[in-house]
Amino acid sequence: MSQRINYRFVISSLIATYLLVFSGSLVYAADINKLVKVCTDCHGENGNSKIINSPSIAGMSTEYFAETMQEYKDKTRPAEKLKNKKKTMKDVVKKLSDADMVALGEYYTKQKFIPFKQDFDAGKAKAGKKLHRKYCDKCHTEGGSSAEDDAGILAGQPSGYLKYSLGSLASGKREMGEKMAKKFKKMQKKEGDAAIDKLVHYYASQQ
């Protein structure tokens, strides 16, 4: 064997070792189809929920997605257990690497958000629309349907989830940013407890 071939052999085995060590660990995300399969159980096909108490995650911004996943990981956001399910979001994120979360964010941002088909009270929805315009639309634009605000998607979410998420913000169980808290608390003080219910019907009415 000549010196030259030996040299090539050394280089290629170094590359092979490098790939063996790093593939599937921190550098690469796991297979996206496998990752998504886990989410479909609670968030539906392409991130459009079929469960009234579980949110749709299609179409949200990558920023909001990353932030919210990190909050579950840091345990700064509470995580509810759905009926008949064994895991919460905190259990789900434990099994994900940072690269997995990035890949999932990119995947779900590209999916089309489909509003949940559900009943609502037209009178309450109308009152909720007024409240939304007054206290929320500045940051949750286009009636709470725009992903570009980096503040989640409110319009067309399943009503059980809306009740839960607005309720946990109202009770202080889930923290919110300072600026949102100012408006939210102002609304609670001026409009009373019924405001939350009206908002739920308004967001649910957008189909």
Residue 102 CB, shortest distance to ligand HEC, in Å, is: 11
Tokens of 106: 């990119």
Residue 52 binding ligand HEC, by CB under 6 A: no
**Contact assessment for residue 87 and residue 161, using Cβ atoms and an 8 Å cutoff:** no
- Rule CB under 6 A: which of 11-30 touch ligand HEC? none
Task: Work out whether 135 is an interface residue with ligand HEC (CB under 6 A).
Answer: yes
Identify whether the C-beta of residue 158 lies closer than 8 Å to the C-beta of residue 116. Answer: yes
Q: How far apart are CA 14 and CA 129, in angstroms?
A: 63
Tokens of 114: 């489909």
Assess 136 for contact with ligand HEC (CB under 6 A): yes
102 binds ligand HEC (CB under 6 A): no
99 and 26 in contact (C-beta within 8 Å)?
yes
Q: Retrieve residue 143's tokens.
A: 């009636």
- Residues at the site binding ligand HEC, with contacts judged by CB under 6 A: 35, 38-39, 41-43, 54-55, 57, 65, 68-69, 78-80, 82, 85, 87, 89, 92, 104, 135-136, 138-140, 151-152, 154, 165-166, 169, 176-177, 179-180, 183-184, 187, 199
